[in-house]
C-alpha cells in the first residue's frame, strides 16, 4: 500500500491552537475489507467548526480522538474499491480527514460526484457543499426572509456570509454586511452586491450599535450571525418587531472563554426569535439547494470565491487563516 501522510491531532488545544497540538506523520495507507474503498484525497475543506471538534467535550459531533487525523470534508478519487457502487477513478465527496488516503464505506457519508457539472471540482466544497447549503437553508429556511427585509450579516466577507448577502439581494432584501478592514468591506459592496458594509475594526459595542443604526435606518429584520460577542450584542439592539436571528456560528469565541450575549432581553422587547442552525439537518434536501444555487450562479447572480492553499504540510497555517481573517473566500487545502 502507498504511504499516507496524516495531519494528526496530538493534544487538545487550550484556547487558540498552536503547532504543537498537531503532527504530520507518514503511515501505510489502510488495507481494504469487503464493502470498503480507498480514497485519494485531492482537496479538503477547512472550516471554523473543526475547532470545536478538537475539544474533549465535543458538540454536535464527537471529538476527534487524540492521535487520529483531523476530521475534514474532502473530495478525491477512488484509488481502489471492494464496495459496490464505487469504482476506481470515480470522484467522491465525504467527511474524511486531513490525509492523503481515507477509507470509505458503502452506505456511509461519502458519495459520488461529477466534476463535469461544475466549473471546478472544488465547487463541491464551496457553493455545492456544506458552505453553500448552510447559506441556502440557513437563510431561507431558518431566517424566513421576506421581500423588503433588512438583513444584517456578520462575518459577511466569509464563505457563508458572502453567499447569504447575495441570496438576500436575490430575494428582494436590503443586505448590510459586517467585515474586518476596508478591503473586505469594499468587496462586500463592489463584488457581492451588499447595500452597505460596516468595518468592525476599532469599534467597541456602542460604536458598532451606532454604525448598524446608521446603515440600517429602518431597523433590522434578519440577523445572520457568524461571529457573536459584541457584534451580536450590537445587532440585537437594532432589531425590528418580530425579527429573526439565525445563529450559524460564534467564531469570536471558539478560541476564548465564552462571554455570551448580554442583550438577549431585546428579543423580548421586540418579540423576536433566535434559532440555531446546523446544515446536517438538511442533508436530504441538498440536491434541491444545489439546483437553485447552480441556477443563480449560471445566471451571474452569485459570485463564488475560493481560497486554495497547497500542501498538507501547511495545514496548520491554512487553518489558522480562518481566525486571522486572511483568507479570501472559502478556505480549501489542496492535498494532491
Convert the pLDDT of each residue in 28-42 to its tens digit.
Answer: 999 999 999 999 999
Q: How confident is the model at residue 258 (pLDDT cuts 50, 70, 90)?
A: confident
**268 lies in the same domain as 311:** no
Do 109 and 61 lie in a common domain?
yes
Residue 257's pLDDT band (boundaries 50, 70, 90)? Answer: confident
- pLDDT score recorded for residue 57: 83
Check which CATH number belongs to the domain holding 20 and give it. 3.90.180.10
Q: Are 246 and 275 in contact (CB under 8 A)?
A: yes
The pLDDT score that the predictor gives to residue 108 is 79
Section 247-272 average pLDDT: 90
137 located within any domain:
yes
Does the structure show a pLDDT above 70 at 58? no
Please report the pLDDT score of residue 259 as a whole number. Answer: 77
Q: Are residues 69 and 97 in the same domain?
A: yes
Residue 229 maps to a domain: yes
Query: Does a structural domain hold residue 109?
Result: yes
pLDDT confidence tier of residue 253, bands split at 50, 70 and 90: confident
Instruction: Give pLDDT tens digits for 273-298.
Output: 999 999 999 988 999 999 999 999 99
Instruction: Give the closest residue to 167 by CA, choosing from 224, 86, 236, 227.
Output: 224
Share of the chain above pLDDT 90, in %: 90
Question: Is residue 30 included in any domain, yes or no?
Answer: yes
Q: Which CATH number characterizes residue 253's domain?
A: 3.40.50.720
83 shares a domain with 61: yes
Average pLDDT over residues 97-101: 98
Average pLDDT score over residue span 202-213: 97
- Residue 62 sits in which domain range? 3-126+304-334
* Residue 113 and residue 9 share a domain: yes
| 241 and 120 in a common domain | no
Is residue 287 domain-resident?
Answer: no
Q: Do 178 and 233 fall within a single domain?
A: yes
Pair (183, 322) in one structural domain: no
Which ranges in 113-174 belong to alpha helices (H)?
Answer: 130-137, 159-170
Half-sphere exposure of 187 (CA within 13 A, CB side): 20
Lowest mean pLDDT: which of 4-13, 58-67, 179-188, 221-230? 58-67
The number of domains in the chain is: 2
State whether 155 and 214 are in the same domain.
yes
Q: Is residue 288 part of a domain?
A: no
Please tell me the distance from the alpha carbon of residue 48 to that of residue 228, in angstroms, as a whole number: 13
Q: What is the mean pLDDT of the chain?
A: 95
Establish if 36 belongs to a structural domain. yes
Residues 111 and 25 in one domain: yes
The reported pLDDT for the residue numbered 316 is 98
138 and 226 both lie in a single domain: yes
Q: Rounded mean pLDDT of 254-260? A: 79
Q: Is the pLDDT of residue 211 over 90?
A: yes
Q: How many CA atoms lie within 13 A of 178 on its CB side?
A: 31
DSSP reduced 3-state for 257: coil
60 and 172 assigned to the same domain: no
Q: Which residues pair with 8 in a beta bridge?
A: 23, 69
Q: What is the pLDDT of residue 11?
A: 97
In a domain, 327, yes or no: yes
Amino acid at each position: 500500500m502507498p504511504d499516507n501522510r496524516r495531519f494528526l491531532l496530538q493534544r487538545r488545544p487550550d484556547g487558540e491552537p498552536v503547532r504543537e497540538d498537531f503532527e504530520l506523520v507518514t503511515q501505510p495507507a489502510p488495507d481494504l475489507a469487503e464493502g470498503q474503498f480507498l480514497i485519494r484525497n485531492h482537496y479538503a475543506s477547512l472550516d471554523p467548526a473543526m475547532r470545536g471538534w478538537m475539544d474533549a467535550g465535543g458538540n454536535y459531533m464527537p471529538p476527534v480522538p487524540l492521535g487520529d487525523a483531523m476530521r475534514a470534508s474532502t473530495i478525491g478519487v477512488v484509488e481502489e474499491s471492494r464496495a459496490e457502487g464505487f469504482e476506481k477513478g470515480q470522484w467522491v465527496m465525504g467527511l474524511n480527514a486531513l490525509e492523503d488516503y481515507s477509507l470509505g464505506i458503502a452506505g456511509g457519508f461519502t458519495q459520488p460526484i461529477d466534476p463535469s457539472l461544475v466549473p471546478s471540482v472544488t465547487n463541491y466544497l464551496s457553493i455545492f457543499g456544506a458552505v453553500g447549503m448552510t447559506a441556502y437553508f440557513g437563510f431561507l429556511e431558518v431566517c424566513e426572509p421576506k421581500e423588503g427585509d433588512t438583513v444584517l450579516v456578520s462575518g459577511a466577507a466569509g464563505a457563508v456570509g458572502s453567499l447569504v448577502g447575495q441570496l438576500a439581494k436575490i430575494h428582494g432584501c436590503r443586505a448590510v454586511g459586517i467585515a474586518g478592514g476596508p478591503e473586505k468591506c469594499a468587496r462586500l459592496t463592489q463584488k457581492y452586491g451588499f447595500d452597505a458594509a460596516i468595518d468592525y475594526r476599532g469599534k467597541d459595542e456602542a460604536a458598532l450599535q451606532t454604525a448598524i443604526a446608521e446603515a440600517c435606518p429602518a431597523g433590522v429584520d434578519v440577523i445572520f450571525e457568524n461571529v457573536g460577542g459584541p457584534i451580536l450584542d450590537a445587532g440585537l439592539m437594532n432589531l425590528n418587531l418580530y425579527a429573526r436571528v439565525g445563529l450559524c456560528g460564534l467564531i469570536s469565541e471558539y478560541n476564548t472563554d465564552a462571554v455570551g450575549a448580554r442583550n438577549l432581553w431585546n428579543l423580548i422587547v421586540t418579540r423576536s426569535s433566535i434559532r440555531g442552525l446546523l446544515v446536517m439537518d438538511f442533508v436530504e434536501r441538498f440536491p434541491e439547494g444545489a439546483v437553485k444555487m447552480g441556477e443563480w450562479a449560471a445566471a451571474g447572480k452569485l459570485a463564488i470565491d475560493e481560497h486554495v492553499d497547497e500542501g498538507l504540510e501547511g495545514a496548520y497555517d491554512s487553518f489558522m487563516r480562518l481566525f486571522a481573517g486572511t483568507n479570501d473566500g472559502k478556505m480549501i487545502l489542496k492535498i494532491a
